[in-house]
Each structure stands twice: as structure tokens, then as C-alpha cells.
Structure 1
Amino acid sequence: MSSHTARERILARLHASGTEQTRVPEAPPPPDLSLDRDARIERLATQMTAIRTEVHLVDADRWTDKLKALAREKGWRRLLFGPGSPIGPAIEKAWPSDADGLPERVAYSSQVETFKDDLFEIDAGITSVRGGVADTGAVVLWPTPHEPRLMSLVPPVHVAVLDADTIYNSLSEMMASENWAAGMPTNALLISGPSKTADIEFTLVFGVHGPKELILIIKK
């Protein structure tokens, strides 16, 4: 008996036996949150802290002071930022290039092909954040030419700066409120903590595919 004939006989028996289709009900949508501003901040901070994000809540006009304090405390030597980003001017204003005890400001202002050697010598990268999602505990990054994805992916430490007024109850609320349907980037990112992975023995390891540390500064 040829293999072709045997396969046909097996398939014929399967078809003849019939198969009963089991209908799988659709999962109900998660309940909508309706938290006030303070509760959204607290939920986001709690959720992200639980998965090893270092969260700092600061006055909106003092966030660069907190950044400088963190830089000194952690001993960063080089800090990557985007001069044309929403937070770039504030960093330039508050961060003298010759400030004692502070890391060198490294501006991302050239193509990655000419910058890649310097890129892997960076201690921390800082980016702005599009918004926060309270129900799942995540921040949304919307990469641009001024703040490409590599700024939050390559350095071992990623510092994200979030305006508390842009924390939404849910991702769907954020998408509707900001009218994402009118135009989206090719790469919108939801980040809930530092890079992590687990092997087949369920050993959780941080920093394998990205930053080992995520620091979130929330401007209240």
C-alpha cells in the first residue's frame, strides 16, 4: 500500500467519523475603570512598582531636580536625550554641560549609523511618554525621529517622564480621547517594567532583551 493511499484512507475515516464543533463563548470585556486623577496615579504607580519599575512622583516644575539627584545617586556617566523631544529643552536648561557630579549629556541628533558606537557606551536614556494606562499599569511610548525606539531599548537604564494629566483609566479610553484613529505611528509601545524573560524552568531574568532598569518620573 502506497503512503499516498494510506493517507487518503486515514483522512476518509476522520471525515466519516465527523467532528463536533464546540462553540467557545467570547470573553466579556474587562470592567471599565472610572478613577479620579489621584486614583489613576496611585494605581499606575502601584502596578508598575510591583514589576520592578522605580516610580517617583514629583512636582511638575521640579522633575529635572529629581533626575539630577538620581543621576548622582546611581553614578551615571553618560545620559542620552533627544534635544528636539518634548522634554529636551527642559533638560538642556537645567543641565549645564560642565555640572560637577552629573553625567555628560549626550544628544541624539545624528543618524544611528554614525551614532551606534557611542550608543553602546551610554549608561541611561531618557524619553518622554505619550501617556499612562492605569488599569494594566503601563506607559505608552510613541517613537519619533527625535526619540527613536533605540533610546529606550539599548541603554541599560531607561528613564521615562510622564505627565500625570495624561494617565488614562484604560488604553481604549486613551485611544478614543486622543483620536488615534486619525493617525498612528508604525511603532506604538506599551511598557510596564524593565526587560524580562523566563526560561523553561520559569526563572525570571531581567535585562536580557532591553533595559535592566526602568525609572518612571511622574510629574504631578
Structure 2
Amino acid sequence: MSARDTILRRLRERTDGPLAAPKSDFAVVTGRGWSHDERLERFERWITSVHGEVIHTQRDNWLEVLSQVVSAKSIRRLALGREHPVAAEVRMELAASELKLVDSDRDVEGWQRELFEQVDAGLTSVRGAIAETGSLWLWPTQDEPRQLSLVPPIHIAVLDASSIEDTLFDVIEAHGWSQQMPTNALLISGPSKTADIEQTLAYGVHGPKELVVIVRH
């Protein structure tokens, strides 16, 4: 009998019942107790500390703010989804503008060159944000694939202020990741960045040079 078989036999033949998971104390990763305003302030402080840009707006005029961002950053080709309400509102508002709206709900092989060489910005919704680390969290879908936030030079993310939670643990608990863990959750804490051996930080080397977060109140 191999060592593996011996170990498995001992586990199966335990006389004191099945093994139970040890009791865990998660106090260190939750229980911050921050108010809505504190969460918002912490999120903005951390994400702007690494070159993220935060723009606040009321929900009823966020499309006007988006138009201003597009104009200020000379965006001519914007990639976005179709089905999510954020993308649907943008398409309705900007359909008659000179801005080229690029469909993202395609097999990446069919528009890979366009994505990497011609798209100026990608626009996505987000599921929420984390105050403790200044992070956005996204669940990519076929409608809003992950390349929207990872490839274009500019990533525009639309965040509802009410969806900011204290910690990553609180996100996992509140959204039931233990029952339905996302296959590809993205945590985004600012533009793409990397550092060489001398710890010189560079932005936009492997992804977006700019991250613009439009916070809707």
C-alpha cells in the first residue's frame, strides 16, 4: 500500500467523526463600521493616490459628464457593451455624435487588431468598489468582456456611490461568492502600473494609462 493510500484509509476510518473546519476569526478583515461618506472618502483618497481620476456627478446628468470626459481626452473611438443599462444609456445618448461606438460583444479574434490599435477608450460598468484599498471590482461578461478594462489606453468606469463597501471580505460575504464565486473577478486599483528592479514606478506599460471613475450619486 502506498503512502497516499495509507493516509486516505486513516482519514476514512476515523473513529471520532468527520473532520470539521476550524473556527475562524475574521475580525481583522471586516467590521470597519465606516459610514457612507467615510467609505467614499477613503475610496477616492486611495485610488487617486495611484493616478486614478474620480469625477462626481448626479445620476440625472452623468451622461453629460461622460461627454465632457470624451471631449477633454480627445476620445474618437469608444468600446463598450450593449446590454448593460450603463452601455445602453450611452448608446442612446451618443448615437448621433461624431464619436465612434465600437461593439465589444464579439469574439476577440474578430476585432483584436482594432481593439489594440484603434480604440481610444473602453467604458464599463462596475459591480462596486472597496473603500479600504481604493479598488473597483468587476465581473466581466460576454457583453462587457475583460479586455474593455485591460487593453484600451483609457478605462472609463461608472460607479454608483451606494455600492462602495468597506473591505474585500465584505464584498465576498454580501455577494455570496462562497455559493457562486465569479470565474473572473477583476480588482482594479488605478491605471496599469509596474516597477523595475530599482522600484521606479511606470504607468500604462501593460494596459490603460488612465483610469477615470465617474461616481454617480
Fold agreement, TM-score > 0.5: yes
Whether the 8 Å contact between 2:84 and 2:143 is mirrored in structure 1 is: yes
Residue deviations 1:128-182 (CA, integer Å, cap 9, x gap): 1011000111010111111111111110100111111110011111111111222
Q: Distance in 2 between matches of 1:114 and 1:32?
A: 46
Q: Distance in 1 between matches of 2:197 and 2:43?
A: 30
1:211 corresponds in structure 2 to 208
Q: Distance in 2 between matches of 1:106 and 1:83?
A: 10
Q: Secondary structure at the match of 2:206?
A: coil
1:134 corresponds in structure 2 to 131
Q: Distance in 2 between matches of 1:187 and 1:109?
A: 17
Aligned residues: 191
1:30, distance to aligned residue in structure 2 (A): 4.8
Within 5 Å, which residues of 2 pair with 1:146-185? 146-185=143-182
Q: Distance in 1 between matches of 2:205 and 2:183?
A: 24
Whether the 8 Å contact between 2:30 and 2:166 is mirrored in structure 1 is: no
Cα pair distance change 1:190/1:74, threshold 3 Å: same
Q: Are 2:66 and 1:70 equivalent residues in the alignment?
A: no
Q: Distance in 2 between matches of 1:180 and 1:76?
A: 36
Q: Are 2:113 and 1:117 equivalent residues in the alignment?
A: yes
Q: Distance in 2 between matches of 1:170 and 1:86?
A: 26
Residue type of the alignment partner of 1:152: S
Q: Distance in 1 between matches of 2:195 and 2:174?
A: 36
Whether the 8 Å contact between 2:105 and 2:142 is mirrored in structure 1 is: no
1:96, distance to aligned residue in structure 2 (A): 2.3
Q: Secondary structure at the match of 1:181?
A: coil
Residue type of the alignment partner of 1:119: L
Within 5 Å, which residues of 2 pair with 1:90-101? 90-97=89-96, 99=97
1:185, distance to aligned residue in structure 2 (A): 2.1
Q: Secondary structure at the match of 2:45?
A: helix
Question: Percent same amino acid at aligned positions?
Answer: 43
Whether the 8 Å contact between 2:30 and 2:169 is mirrored in structure 1 is: no
Whether the 8 Å contact between 2:105 and 2:145 is mirrored in structure 1 is: no
1:31, distance to aligned residue in structure 2 (A): 6.4
Q: Distance in 2 between matches of 1:61 and 1:34?
A: 30
> Which runs of 5 or more residues in structure 1 are unaligned?
1-27
Pair member with larger Rg: 1
Q: After TM superposition, which residue ranges in structure 1, 4 or more long, deviate above 3 angstroms?
A: none
1:55 corresponds in structure 2 to 54
> Which runs of 5 or more residues in structure 2 are unaligned?
1-26
Residue type of the alignment partner of 2:142: P
